[in-house]
Structure 1
Amino acid sequence: MAGTVTDIPRAADRRRGRGRRGRTWGLLGCGLVLALPAGLLVVRLTGLDAGTPLAVPMVLFPYSALLSLLVLGVMVAVRALRSRWAVAVVAALVAVQVGLLVPRFVPEGRHIPSGSTELRVATLNTDVGGADPRAVAELVRTERIDVLALEQLPPGGVAALDKAGLGALMPYRELHPEYDSSIYSRRPLSHGGTTDSDTAWPQTTAELTLDGSTVRFVAVHTYYPLGDADRWTRDMTALASLARRGGPDTVFLGDFNASLDHAPMRRLLSAGLTDTHAELGHGWARTWPVGHALVPPMVQLDHVLHGSGLAGVSVGERTLPGTDHRAVVAVLALLPE
């Protein structure tokens, strides 16, 4: 009987010891899982992705916030992991992440005067002309697009689009397949050409005069950070310089190879541009990649940015066969001066 009594506290001690070890390992596991979200948050706050390979994982920042929120939920739900200091640290991490992400989900609610002229624009990376030309023409027809920017459009792609009927729908164009991008329009364009800024290749530009206002368009395609992060950053810096000189009636649209969490993109926006998706509260748009059975669209690389002389009315994405990017379609209103 004495031996049995003595064994009882020993068994209890062993259980407590196993519980402490289990809690330690559980908290350690949570810490390892949170290493990526914490690291990305540091990069997001410091802008270390500019010109460095850190630009590549930075596109995962929204997903890292979801991961942090999931870990916080597990720590609160599992009694063995309810360490006050650990929960407080993870809650602070989640709060900062959410604080950075929430603004893009809240519509700005800008007042658009009744009767304002609207401009329907679209952009599509054709994947070196792989996009189905008939689908592109149908998009223009059904969405009643006024101005279309196409990136990675080779000379053969131009001919295929004309054969599919795009030439009849949009007879005015500024074509530069020898570089990369082109601009199509239903209405006459003026002052067409390409930029001479420090970008990997010239960006195509053109102007459209509508109801007394002249809107300047820049069809954007930057270098990609996975190939050369420094070159990509210089491209974005050059675009920011263009935006500062562009005035309020400017539209930059295309494949920026950047999300709203990249420091170079935020600097571009601070040059006087607004991202239409964020302006309208569509903060979870995903435009790349598409066409893969096992990988859904995950990140937004394609954007419609505009100056203060315009306001977003609507924006959305469309999937076209033959390309790994989704098209972005936006309706912009011209604001009175």
Structure 2
Amino acid sequence: MDSAVRTRRAADGERKRGADRRGRRWGSIGCGVLLAMLLVLLVVRLTGVDAGTPLAVPVVLFPYAGALGLLALIATIAVPALRSWPLVIGAALLAVAYVVLLVPRFVPDDERHIPAGAPELRVATLNTHVGRGDARALVQLVKSERIDVLAVQELPSAGIDAFAEAGLGEVLPYQELHPENDSSLYSRIPLTRGGPLEADTAWPQTTAQVTVGGRAVRLVAVHTYYPLGDAQRWTRDMTALTAVARDGGADTVFLGDFNASLDHAPMRDLLASGGLTDTHAELGKGWARTWPAGKGLLPPLVPLDHVVHGPGLAGLSVGERTVPGTDHRAVVATLALLPTA
């Protein structure tokens, strides 16, 4: 082999080693940037600084960030170009933190003691997308799921008329309708003490009571402002609902479009301060994505709609249903009334 060939091969080898070094460097930089972003989101989640700030928008993606953290950990271990102790240790710490925060919502609460024959209340909530929801499909849902109480949001007068024409009043004859306030209640059981909730929210929330098993259950049909539009207004809505929940009693159900996930600080404050339980998390289904719906091939991405209840009740079942024409999935839940002390 002559010297020219050896020189050329040596040059090729050096170029390859240089390319490998650059690839490892850029790979490490990219992985480091990803881990830094995951760390920032984790700090926001832990400190609750999303309340009243635009950070409320990315926080809704926290579970996706947890999945990215696990993938980053796998990559730093399995990909030679990314394998370095600082990256591995950083990815591992982040993955553990995300897992600790996320796993509980996927584990059913097995400490509940629900006696056989406990009175039950079947509830549902649906954002009707300014009345565009298919009225006949909704009536069929109410019938098939044997709904006792239905909370609706974004239901204008025209939507109320469409629901009446489809026969909703025949299955849910008791109604607290407030199209001017954006939320309404339909019920198979007589409603009492109904009207707009006295709270500082962007739109008055509709409230009423039903009697189940001899006990009065307070209902609040929720529709808060949205963080993307005004994070401070959304936070004030959630704070107002928290004050209501704090004084609401054990037999209280808040159901509707909270425009919040379990990772938002105002939502966690609402649950903790009011002694409330999110039915999805209670039953190990804590990432039930309800929005956006009806967007072609795009599946629902984030959980904005919830049924939460006080300590006097327990969740028996919960699920999501699609009603054509809406941009949210309906949430249907069965709640049991627990014996009083």
Q: Which amino acid aligns with 2:336?
A: A
Q: What amino acid is the match of 2:158?
A: G
Letter in 2 for 1:125: N
SS at match of 1:167: helix
Q: What secondary structure is seen at the aligned counterpart in 2 of 1:199?
A: coil
In structure 1, C-alpha distance between the alignment counterparts of 2:156 and 2:22, rounded to whole Å: 62
Q: Which residue of 1 aligns with 2:161?
A: 159
Instruction: Report the aligned-residue RMSD.
Output: 1.9
Structure 1, unaligned runs of 5 or more? none
Please, what TM-score do these two structures have when normalized by structure 2?
0.94
Distance 1:54 1:318 in 2: 30
- Alignment partner, residue 189 of structure 2: 187
Q: Which deviations, in whole Å up to 9, do the C-alpha atoms of 1:193-223 show, x marking residues without a partner?
A: 1112110011100001111111000000000
Alpha-carbon contact 2:223-2:258 (below 8 Å) kept: yes
Tell whether 2:305 aligns with 1:302. yes
* 1:33 maps to amino acid: L
Q: In terms of mean alpha carbon deviation, does 36-45 or 247-256 score higher?
A: 36-45
SS in 1 for 2:138: helix
Match of 2:148 in 1: 146
Deviation of 1:35 after TM superposition, in Å, equals 3.7
Q: Displacement of 1:31 after TM fit?
A: 1.6
Counterpart code for 2:40:
G
Partner residue of 1:238? 240
Q: Where do residues 99-118 of structure 1 align in structure 2 (5 Å cutoff)? A: 99-109=100-110, 110-118=112-120
Corresponding residue of 1:321 = 324
CA distance in 1, matches of 2:176, 2:2: 96
The amino acid that maps onto 2:26 is W
Amino acid at match of 1:256: F
Q: What residue is the counterpart of 1:82 in the other structure? A: 83
Q: Which whole-Å CA distance do the structure 2 matches of 1:184 and 1:171 have between them? A: 7
Q: Which residue of 2 aligns with 1:41?
A: 42
Instruction: Specify the code of the residue in structure 2 equivalent to 1:124.
Output: L
Moved more, 104-113 or 23-32: 23-32
Q: 2:125 matched to which residue of 1?
A: 123
CA distance in 1 between partners of 2:292 and 2:2 (Å):
71
Question: Cα distance, 1:3 vs. partner?
Answer: 6.6
Aligned to 1:135: 137
Residue 188 of structure 1, CA deviation: 0.7
**Aligned-pair CA distance for 1:67:** 1.2
SS in 2 for 1:270: helix
Q: Secondary structure at the match of 1:226?
A: coil
1:10, CA displacement in angstroms? 8.3
Counterpart code for 1:309: G
Tell me the amino acid that sits aligned with residue 193 of structure 2: H
1:12 Cα deviation (Å)? Answer: 6.9
Give, in angstroms, the shift of residue 132 of structure 1: 0.6
Alpha-carbon offset, residue 297 of structure 1 = 0.4
User: 3-state DSSP class of the match of 1:246?
Assistant: coil
Mark the CA change 1:2 to 1:168 in structure 2 (over 3 Å): closer, same or farther: closer
In structure 2, the gaps of 5 or more residues are none
Q: CA deviation at 1:40?
A: 1.3
1:216 corresponding residue in structure 2: 218
CA distance in structure 1 between the aligned counterparts of 2:13 and 2:155, rounded to whole angstroms: 72
Using the TM superposition, give the Cα deviation of residue 283 of structure 1 relative to its aligned residue in structure 2, in angstroms.
2.0
The question of 1:172 aligning with 2:174 is answered yes
Q: Distance in 1 between matches of 2:24 and 2:162?
A: 63
Pairs aligned (count):
337
Whole-angstrom CA distance in 2 between matches of 1:152 and 1:128: 5
Q: Equivalents in 1 of 2:150, 2:11: separation in Å?
A: 77
Q: Paired residue for 1:65?
A: 66
SS at match of 1:252: strand
Cα deviation for residue 16 of structure 1 reads 5.1
CA deviation profile, 1:57-90 (whole Å, cap 9, x unmatched)? 1111111111121122122111222111210111
Residues 87-98 of structure 1: pairs in structure 2 closer than 5 A:
87-98=88-99
Which range moved further: 248-257 or 110-119? Answer: 110-119
Give the Å deviation of 1:13.
Answer: 6.7
Contact 2:225 2:237 in 1 (8 A): yes
SS of the residue 1:115 aligns to: coil
- The normalised TM-score by structure 1 is 0.95
User: How far apart, CA to CA, are the structure 2 residues paired with 1:220 and 1:108?
Assistant: 25
Q: Does the CA contact (< 8 Å) of 1:36 and 1:64 recur in 2?
A: no
Aligned mates of 1:223, 1:313 — CA distance in 2: 29
1:293 to 293, 296, 302: 296
